[in-house]
Structure 1
């Protein structure tokens, strides 16, 4: 075990559990799934209940998958798709900085997840435990990890926006 592997473990666990907590909150936080569904409807992601379930489930699955380092580029792609949709639908009008509810945080989470997919989950991961020494392991990091995480994530996020996002009409002041 090296400091590199411990560093990747720390990064994966913090990123992953942070994302999983967001999913948990959508399911069980104040207002629960019904409140989350109403929020999705209000921002133009219809049907809201469908998107609330998809977002909460993806946040929990991607978060836990990244935390344990299982098929790492796939949960990283989930981060990219989730953060792209969140940045576009909620944070884009507010600019970049998080202090004004901008999309800075979304960018950092997505890029950090892609970086982990590129570097690989490290020796303290299920990827290493289950797949080291196999051809599949080579697809779970390096250029393949980067391409899978970024391309699949962008395709998922853009696809969801194109198919489902209908921005609410602007209210006259």
Structure 2
């Protein structure tokens, strides 16, 4: 494929925009579940109780707010294409925590509750941050 062709460059930018919006908005939603209880979430109290049940101790409230903020802010930055690397980093931190705390013992495959999906999300956001967000970003419009 000739990447210097203007049509191909436009398609690459549209593809990056779609990836950023789908993943970014999804993480904004997950963060909203944890922070505000929106979209069927349990809010910081319910999520902190769940974290404490996993052995987080009394720090569950802190980590529930931190996870919600990382997901919400990371998703927002990633979707907007603004500080994309920072947004990707916040998302990667949350996904790595999810793997280590919840999914690691269940193996790789998601059908067993494993870490497959978290790993794919980490790979995608890392790849987009390395490639760049494309032309359709907040401050280029």
Normalised by the size of structure 1, how large is the TM-score? 0.71
Aligned residues: 129
1:43 shift after superposition = 1.4
Identify the match of residue 25 of structure 1 among 2, 20, 33: 33
RMSD: 1.5
Pairing of 1:1-173 with structure 2 (within 5 A): 2-27=10-35, 28=37, 29-46=40-57, 47-126=59-138, 129=140
Aligned to 2:6: none
Which residues of structure 1 form unaligned runs of 5+? 131-173
Q: 1:71-90 CA distances to partner (integer Å, 9 max, x unpaired)?
A: 11001111111111000100
CA contact 2:33–2:42 (8 Å) conserved in 1: no
Which residues of structure 2 form unaligned runs of 5+? 1-8
Q: Give, in whole Å, the separation in 1 of the partners of 2:61 and 2:137.
A: 34
Q: 1:85-141 CA distances to partner (integer Å, 9 max, x unpaired)?
A: 0001000111011111100011011110000001100100136x29xxxxxxxxxxx
Q: 1:1-41 CA distances to partner (integer Å, 9 max, x unpaired)?
A: 70000000000000111111111111213432111000111
Normalised by the size of structure 2, how large is the TM-score? 0.86
